[in-house]
Structure 1
């Protein structure tokens, strides 16, 4: 059970022509993915820093005896 004698396997030309199109597409997808991950990490760090700064400001206000209206203290 094999190919008949004298059979020559040829390359599938559409596949050969399509391969060069995949490499740039994968590179672009990788770069876009990297930028998305980097931006999300930066945003997360920025939000954590802002929350820490708000917590510090609220703690300072409590030490000074002031109530901040945005904290729900009445």
Structure 2
């Protein structure tokens, strides 16, 4: 099969399904961008919150050691 060039004076116009599909992509991309932004923001906030809680736990444990109050160690046997 050979591809021939269009006859002279041929004007290519947009395909109608493409014209109808383009307006649907813009809002979908905006919504996907907003959802992605919210996910990233929430994950960063959760990571910062976890790091802050771990730092507070470390500080509390260090204060307890300095004051001679040891926190009860968790045993593998459970509460006995």
TM-score (normalised: structure 2): 0.80
Gaps of 5+ in 1: none
Q: Deviations over 1:9-30 (max 9, x none)?
A: 1210100110000000000000
Q: Which stretches in structure 2 are left out of the alignment for 5+ residues?
A: 1-5
What TM-score does the superposition give when structure 1 sets the normalisation length?
A: 0.86
Moved over 4 A (4+): 70-74
CA 1:54–1:71 in structure 2 vs 1: closer, same or farther (change >3 Å)? Answer: farther
Pairing partner for 1:71 from 64, 74, 77: 77
The root-mean-square deviation of aligned C-alpha atoms, in Å, is 3.2
**Residues paired across the two proteins, number:** 72
Structure 1 residues 13-70: Cα deviation after superposition (integer angstroms, max 9, x where no partner): 1001100000000000000000000000000000000000000000000001111119
